């Protein structure tokens, strides 16, 4: 399985600012995903990021609020824009190897975001 790293591991931000989270995979992967885990909650998929195409957002998430880039097969970024305290969460990226992987995903360590 690919090893996934995220930067930053945690941050404390002011209301109204934006934060870009980076996700780096140590091998080429087909699909990458971004999740949000609100305090005490399960994971909610924000969007699916495929290289060379626009990210596909889930219901309740929009590109203006969570712009995503996927410039190559090993890297993706998620920006949390115009933050409010409600955006305080852990943000996780994951990858999937593609066909034959049984949709198994491997996760990064997460970025713990606190918005004041």
Partner 1 sequence: AQSVTQLGSHVSVSEGALVLLRCNYSSSVPPYLFWYVQYPNQGLQLLLKYTSAATLVKGINGFEAEFKKSETSFHLTKPSAHMSDAAEYFCAVSLQGGSEKLVFGKGTKLTVNP
Question: 1 vs 17, which CB is nearer to partner 1?
Answer: 1
Question: 89 vs 94, which CB is nearer to partner 1?
Answer: 94
According to CB under 8 A, which one of 2, 43, 79, 81 is a site residue for partner 1?
43
List the one residue out of 49, 59, 41, 42 whose CA is nearest residue 93. Answer: 49
Question: 57 vs 81, which CB is nearer to partner 1?
Answer: 57
Provide the binding-site residues for partner 1, judged by CB under 8 A. Answer: 4, 31, 33, 41-45, 48, 92, 94, 96, 102-110, 112
């Amino acid at each position: 399985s690919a090893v996934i790293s995220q930067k930053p591991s945690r941050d404390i931000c002011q209301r109204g600012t934006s934060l870009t989270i980076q996700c780096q995979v140590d091998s080429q992967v087909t699909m990458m995903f971004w999740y949000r885990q609100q305090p005490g909650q399960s994971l909610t998929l924000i969007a699916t990021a495929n290289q060379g195409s626009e990210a596909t957002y889930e219901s309740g998430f929009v590109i203006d609020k969570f712009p995503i880039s996927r410039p190559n097969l090993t890297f993706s970024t998620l920006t949390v824009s115009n933050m409010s305290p409600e955006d305080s969460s852990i943000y996780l990226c994951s990858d999937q190897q593609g066909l034959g992987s049984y949709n198994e995903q491997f996760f990064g360590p997460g970025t713990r975001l606190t918005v004041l």
